[in-house]
Structures are given as C-alpha cells and as structure tokens.
Structure 1
Amino acid sequence: MSDRRQRGCNMPDTAVDYQAVPLHSGDATEILQPNSNATTTNACCRHPMATAGHEERALCCGHGYIIPVLILFVLVLIVLLLPWETLNRLPEENTPVELPLPCQLQLVETIPLGLNYTPASPKFLSTYEAWQLLLSQAKATIDIAAPFWTLRGLDFNDSSTQPGEQLFQRLLSNGDAGKPKLRIRIALNKSVESFWHADARIFGNYGAAQVVAVKLPDEGALHTKLWIVDGQHFYLGSANMDWRSLSHVKELGVLAQNCPQLTRDLSKIFKAYWHIGSDKAASIPSQWSWLYHTNYNLRRPMLIRGNRNYTMSAFISSAPPLLSAQGRTNDLDAILHCIESANEFIYIAVMDYYPLIVYSTHVQYWPPIDNALRKAAVERGVAVKMLISWWKHSDPNEDNYLRSLQELSTSNNHQVDIQIRRFVVPSDEQQMKIPFGRVNHNAYMVTERIAYIGTSNWSGEYFTHTAGVGLVLSEVDFENNTQQTLRSDVLSVFERDWHSPYALPLKQNLQL
C-alpha cells in the first residue's frame, strides 16, 4: 500500500455534518465541520492543493478514482469481447438471424448442340451468356477458380469452338496496352500436363491476368468452378473454362447478381485458394486466420430476398475439410442435411455416383451418401430419383452400386421408391470424335424444400481430398409453395430431363 494511504485511513467514529462545496474557491469556508462533541481526527486523505497547515480544512477522497476506472475497464472489456462472442457463438440450429438481404438469382445451363427438348420445356440463360454478362458488369475485379483452361478449340476443328474462343479473346484483351485494366486473378489446378493450362499461361504472359496453380496434399485437386466479380456478383456451377462446356457438355449453375453479402462470403473460399497457390504460402495452415471465417452455415444460414419475390435461406459449403475455415459447413454435411431433411422426394443429377474412394492407392468403401439415401427411402418413405450420366468414359462397375440401390424398390415393402436412370447426350458421327465431350456434367440435388447446386462428382475423394463448393438454398415461405423460386427452377430442369428421351432405364451393358 502506498505511503499516502497508510498515513490516515482511520475514519472518525462519530457522525459528522457535511456542508455543500462552495462554487468559488475564494468563498471557501470550512468544508468539514465536526460537531462540538466530536473529537478532531486527521482527514483520510488530503486535497492536492491543501498545505500542511490546513489539512483539517481539506476534503479529498483518495479512493474516489477507483469506481470510475473500474467502470471504464468493464466498458472496454465489453467493447473488445462482444465482437468475438458474436463471431463465435453457436445459435440455435437453422435459425436465420438477419433480415432478408437482396440477391438476384437465376439458373443457367449449357444445352449441348443436338440435344433438343419440346418447345414447352423450361429454358434458362446459357452459361456463355452468363459469363459474358459478368464480363460486361465487371468494373474492377474478377476472380475465377477453375481446374483447367482450354477455351480455344486447339484439339478440334469445328465451328462449335467459337463461343470458347470469343471468351478467350475477350479475357485476353484485358492485357491490351493503354486500356484500363481489370484485376483478373485465376486459380487453377496444378497439373503435370501443360496442355490444360495453355490459355491461362497466355493470360499471365500477356499481362491480362494473375495466375496461381493450387496443389492439394494426398493427390487432391482443385475442382471448383466459380466467378466472383467486384464483390457483388458470382457464378457457381459445373461448367469448366473449356470450349466444350459452352457447346457440347450439359452444364448447370447459378448466376447471382447484386448479391454482395453472399458474394463476399464465397470470396473467402477463393481467397483460401489464392493463399495456397501463391509463392508465399508454404503449406495449408492447420488453422485458418479469422479473415477466412464465416458467420453463415448450416446452423446459421443467411436470409436472402430472391429477385424481390421470395425469401430463402442460403449458405456456401466447401470441401475438403482441411480447406474449411471456422464456421464453414463441409460439402458432405450440406448434402447429408438436404437428404436427411427431405420428407417427400429427393431428385439427384450427377455425372458419377460411387460409394467409394476410387482414385487412391487402394479403393475404399465410402457409404455416407448411399446410406443416407437408403435410410430416407426405407424409413421415411421418401421417393428417390437419380439421373446418372452415361458416356464413353463411364465405368461399367458403377452399375453394380446403382442396381444395389434400386433393388430396394423391388422388396416386399412397396413404400420404398428408388428409381435410377442413365442420361445420355446424343451424338452424331462428328460429335463422337470430340474428346471429353457429349456428357451430362450436372451436379445438383433438389427436394420439396431445398436446392443444392455443386461443383463435384459424387464419389468419396471429391469430399475428402478435392476442392469443391456448393450452394444450398432453402425455401422459407412454406405457405406459398406455388411461387416460382430458384428451387422450383431446378426441379423443372430435373423433371424435364427425367421425362425426356435421353433418360434411359438402368440396365447392364448400355450401349451408346
């Protein structure tokens, strides 16, 4: 204890009368006047201006500063800790916590040449139109993640390569001298085959874009396809930066415009890719910085007002888990949630479906999605329909797992309804020569309430080792389920394809 406090902290035992403190120091009279019977004692502390001879006339509470300092200290703690608590607390599951945020959403597709539907079938903006629209809207920045870049038809001489080549020229023009430049950043998959990176290398050499190659451990790969423009707009879907994805491969994605909150959340995933691919990043961090954290996930989705007409909850999922920063829902968990929350139907369209980890040293059984589908059909009577692609690169062994799933419908329990069909993109003699073309490359799922649009095939390694993303949109206006939403658009695409002549029954040795 300080000397000042030791000197006189024996308070008088008798009561004292207190008088008001004078307003002017010149009129000061006795501040503390003991009663006539009181014994004069030393003051507990001295006024800073009091002299040694006037101690009995000075009043100062030496401990008076403690209370305001404590109050100030508590307020500082509240200011510092409240943001941390807000970022890290876990609210009740599936509880949207904000007012609906504006977001213009629309479905986009690539319909391969020669694949024709009836005139009454639903039609949507093409992938090519969506990407051109994003380029026209860009004012400052464009970030693109795609595994490979083959926009030019160097391996095929045909007029159908033109959309890809036009897009290549428009991106390349960003490097023209004397022209205001956009900041274009490209994250691609690191590959030993330089052919798949040719276009991106040209962009980098010409000054049109900055390019990094992303390498993941355990032979993982970057398989994400997304555009982020000015922190306001994005594309997420199945389409590669490849000329075939604009004319010969069936693709599906979502275009979001004037959607800053959801776009900024998605940009954190691209920022992680950029970090991994940059020279400064020695390895994937064991724990991601708070700059990569998200507040929006399965337990706490973002509320959006789609096209000013309907309200949906939304969040972005990511794979693999080592790329998921704090708060981010893993892609597998997002898919399992969609399956487990369905009560009426689950419709799925993917290129590949395996309950295996295929591309590894040893094939491993990987049943999470398969088990969830069986449980939904058997225990809850949910109708399951699956459109799985069939093309010249399909593995016939995939049929064994699909038939095993469909066989549940032929059991004595007639409430089990699992139907599987193969979707075949038709090809003429010239189109059959296109390498890695003529396939349904969709990656989506739709239920009575939720739409999931992703970038990955459905086998184990795409969720354990491969970088991918998904967008989960859930309808909130349950009483107005007749309204057209992005979920209902996805449903209309599935039903169009399921009832088309290109969806064939599952059978052995299907011939193209």
Structure 2
Amino acid sequence: MAGRNTQEPLKNQQKCIAIFALFCCFAVLVVLIFSSVNIWGDNEDGITEENCSKDCSIRLVENLPDDLYLPMNGRHHLPLSVGFHTLLNRAKHSIEVVSPVWALNPWDQEAMPSTAKQGQLLFQKLLSLKSRGVKLKIASSLTNSNELKTLASHNAEVHFVNMTALTRGGLHSSFWIVDRKHIYIGSAAMDWRSLAKRKELGVLVYNCSCLALDLHRVFSFYWQLHEKDYIPSIWSKRVTALYGRHGALDLQLGTSQASAYVSTSPELFCTKDRTRDVDAIYQVIQSAKTFVFISVTDYLPLVNRSVRGTKVTRYWSLIDEVIREAVVLRRIKVHLLISFWKKTHPLTFNFVTSLKSLCMELVNCSMEVRFFSHKEQREDDQYGLNHNKYVVTDNSVYIGNHDWVGSDFTINAGVGLVVKMKNSLQDRGVTILDHVKAAFERDWMSGYAKNLQGNKDQRGKLRDPQQVEIHMETRKEIQWNKSSSL
C-alpha cells in the first residue's frame, strides 16, 4: 500500500509536467503565428472573388526617348508618364506601389534633358495625394532615397524589403494597384530614367478588381516582410493566390474573352497556388502555335551562387530548353531581341550562337537573334537602353520585371502578368497581343536592331570597336569557361 501511495503523486506530477509542456508548445505556436503574420490579413475593402469586376480594359504603355527614332506604323501607344498620371487621377482611396528604385528627381537638373522633368512632375503628383485624402503605401528595397523620406513626411506609409537578408538577392518588382481596381505592371521603376532615357514597356489594366485583388495579395506579402530577415513559414490566407496557370481568371477585355493571372519569383515568395515567373514564361512559350517574340535587356541561362565563400556557376536550363524545343520540335518561329550595352555578359554571345545553330540544315526552322543598341549608349549606358521584359506569341503575352537571367528568377523578387486570348484569331479583333506584337516588330525592323554576324567586314572582323572589345572578352570567357569546367 505504501508503494502504491508513493507512485500516485509521482504519476500526477508527470501528468502536470506533460500538460504544462503541451501548454507551453501551444503558447509558443500562437506567438509565432501572431509575430510572423497579420493573422487576419489586410482589409480588402469589401472586394471578394464573388463581387469583383471581370469586365476590364487593358492598355499598352511605353517610354520612348526623344532621340530614339522608331517607325510608329500608325500605332501610337500611350506614353508611360501619361499612363502613371492617368492612374493618379483615377485614385480616390488608395494607391499601393512596389518599386526597387525611388529616384524621380535627377541630381543634376541643369545637365539633364527636358524629359527628365517627367519624374519631377510625377513626384509632385504623388505628394499631392495627401491633400486629396488618398492613402499611399509603398514597398521598396532598402534604399536611402530622399523621395521616400519626403513622401513619408506627407503621410505615405513606407515599408522596406531586405532582399539581401531574405534571399541574398534584390527587389526587381515594379507594379501599382489603385483603389483595388486598376493596376500597372512593367519594366519601369520610379526612376526619372524610366521616364526620360530608357525604353520601357508595361500595361495598365482598368476596372479589373479581380486581378487587382490578386496583385494586392502580392503587395500584402511584401508589406508583411518589413523589418524581417526571414520568410515566415505560416501566412494568412489573405496573401495566397486567387489565380494561377492551373486556374486563371476568366475576364472580358473589350470585345474579346481572355484569361489572366499574376506570377511571382523567387520560389520562396510564391505563396499557396501562386505560379512562378519561370513557369508562366514556360507555359506561354509552350502554348504558342506559330511564333514567339521575346524582348529582354539580358539573356543568360546561368545561375551564380556563393557556396562557402566559393563562386559556383551552373547552367539554368528552364527557359533555354523550352525555346529550343519550340524551334526544333514544333517548328515555331522564334525572334529574340536582346539589348547590346556595356553590361552585356560575354557568355551571352555563346548562348546566342548555340541557339542560332539549331536551324542549321533544318527545313522550316526559324530562330533569329538581334541586338538592340543606340549609339549614345557608348557614353551613357542607360540612354536608349531597351529595358523591355516580355514575350508575346500568337495567343498569349507575358510582361514582367526580370531579365531572362537565371539568377534573377532564383534569388530576386519580381512579378509578371500573363494574358491569354480565348477567341480565335479571326474572331477577336485587335487585342493587347496585337499591340505588343506591333511594338516588337517595330523594334525588330528598326535600325537599332542588328544581327551581330551582319556587322563584319570582308575579312570577317567586327567593325564596331565596342563589338571588337566584346568579342575579345568572349574569347577570354570561353578559355576561363574551359579551365573552370562550368
């Protein structure tokens, strides 16, 4: 009896310890949840999947520097600065902006072209939002920007995303959400160069609260990363994707039926059901029936990583392979337009040569590559730079924030928009695809787009001194490539 009596208190003590341990675990879990996310998510202004608008309109916007002479062929697209002001004029309640750069005011105003004033005008318009009662929320990379400090003093809320701590990458995302109804996605950042010196392309989507609601969830994801050096493993349902490549949003664009969704990168930033940028591009190219036109600043299917202090480079095949498959196996016409500038990596020419060689001795095979370059870029690597980042086919378009460089998709944050037309070519009339295609063909046929092989003299030497320099660097890179066994 005495032994039994001594065992019962011991058992009760063990139960108490177990219950206390479970309680502590539950308390820690609750703390983790509430510290990592806003469990209720952001207020979505009463907009839901059930009551949001799917009857939308879409408009192509471009910035073309004044000294860039491009044939319009009767199609004048909305200037980028006008597009931004249109969004600001429509704003009644809120504007949410993500941009990696905030430099709308040029530091040397006297030496800047007159078009640089567009950045100043846009900045003043943003400052005036306070007097109109429009709430401005900004997510940006860690930057010491005077513009952000001034906007914050005018009631703007600013959150910073520390990509270096999160992925060892950078923030490339550039998009707007206005009143949870209108959006902008494109290549331009909040930089006066995007409105004056660089060639930019993007889209405005009006009265499309379904798509705006989904993009707002991407914004909410960035917003909740403020002052964090880790990516939470538990998220509110308010940041999960509403639409993706396996469940796109069906909408009406003018007289045409279409589907659309927003993609993101890197993979660590893809919440539940969110499509990766690279998968979106893959789908767009794979679904093409007749042509694929690609315009990017840089093309380099490589990923550079640092492993234990050692730089490791590997081939990143995801986009490169789907292009090769389209050209060789499906006989799709592929045109690739890349910018030729001071920061073009020498190995770009190796990969381009490899792509162009696919059609040697093949019937009905079309793979062409051209380099877009403005003569002024020799003195100013930004002037006339083709900063576009899109692919358009006979049935789809993808417009994003990344160059097609492996490292961009794996560690840098970006956003893309996919639009696919449902009507047949004969039944849909003029669509956003036709406008983007026309912009590409205008650039492709311009005097700024050149085939590198076409710039050789009779002795087979490159005429352009800058091209000679690149050619020599390419040879050095090839030798280094062989010795390091990439």
Give the TM-score category using the shorter length: 0.7 to 0.9
Deviation at 1:108, TM superposition (A): 0.5
Equivalents in 2 of 1:121, 1:496: separation in Å? 11
1:174 lines up with 2:129 in the alignment = yes
Identity over the aligned pairs, expressed in percent?
35
Residue in 2 that maps onto 1:202: 150
Counterparts in 2 of 1:426 and 1:99: CA distance versus 1, 3 Å: same
Q: Secondary structure at the match of 1:185?
A: strand
1:348 lines up with 2:294 in the alignment = yes
Deviation at 1:441, TM superposition (A): 0.3
2:451 to 505, 508, 511: 505
Unmatched 5+ stretches in structure 1:
1-96
Moved more, 125-134 or 475-484: 475-484
Q: List structure 1 segments (4+ residues) > 4 angstroms apart after TM superposition.
A: 97-100, 431-435, 508-512
Equivalents in 2 of 1:372, 1:511: separation in Å? 34
1:263 lines up with 2:212 in the alignment = yes
- Deviation sequence 1:79-102 (CA, Å, 0-9, x none): xxxxxxxxxxxxxxxxxx999920
Deviation at 1:340, TM superposition (A): 1.4
- Deviation sequence 1:326-381 (CA, Å, 0-9, x none): 11111111111111112211110000000101475322211111111111111111
Equivalents in 1 of 2:422, 2:53: separation in Å? 11
1:402 to 329, 332, 352: 352
- Deviation sequence 1:303-348 (CA, Å, 0-9, x none): 11112x1111111111111111111111111111111112211110
Q: Which of the pair is proportionally richer in helix?
A: 2
Q: Secondary structure at the match of 2:107?
A: coil
Q: Relative contact order, CA 8 A, sep 6+: which one is greater?
A: 2
Equivalents in 1 of 2:411, 2:128: separation in Å? 35
1:303 lines up with 2:260 in the alignment = no
Residue in 2 that maps onto 1:229: 178
Equivalents in 2 of 1:121, 1:420: separation in Å? 26
1:112 to 52, 65, 70: 65
Structure 2 contact 71–442 (Cα < 8 Å) conserved: no
Equivalents in 1 of 2:51, 2:450: separation in Å? 45
Structure whose CA Rg is larger: 1
Counterparts in 2 of 1:169 and 1:383: CA distance versus 1, 3 Å: same
Residue in 2 that maps onto 1:318: 264
Equivalents in 2 of 1:98, 1:370: separation in Å? 41
Give the structure-2-normalised TM-score.
0.78
Moved more, 502-511 or 135-144: 502-511
Residue in 2 that maps onto 1:286: 233
Counterparts in 2 of 1:341 and 1:296: CA distance versus 1, 3 Å: same
**Residues 352-391 of structure 1: matches in 2 within 5 Å?**
352-358=298-304, 361-391=311-341
Residue in 1 that maps onto 2:406: 460
Residue in 2 that maps onto 1:475: 421
- What amino acid maps onto 2:450 in structure 1? L
Residue in 1 that maps onto 2:193: 244
Q: Secondary structure at the match of 1:483?
A: coil
Residue in 2 that maps onto 1:68: none
Structure 1 contact 107–490 (Cα < 8 Å) conserved: yes
Unmatched 5+ stretches in structure 2:
1-49, 456-461, 467-486
Equivalents in 2 of 1:450, 1:231: separation in Å? 24
Structure 2 contact 68–384 (Cα < 8 Å) conserved: no
Equivalents in 2 of 1:151, 1:345: separation in Å? 37
Equivalents in 2 of 1:482, 1:262: separation in Å? 21
- Deviation sequence 1:129-187 (CA, Å, 0-9, x none): 01011111111111100001110111452223110111112212335xxx343211111
Counterparts in 2 of 1:438 and 1:331: CA distance versus 1, 3 Å: same
1:183 to 124, 135, 144: 135
Give the structure-1-normalised TM-score.
0.74
Q: Secondary structure at the match of 2:211?
A: helix
1:489 to 432, 435, 453: 435
C-alpha RMSD of the superposition: 2.2
1:212 lines up with 2:135 in the alignment = no
Equivalents in 2 of 1:469, 1:233: separation in Å? 16
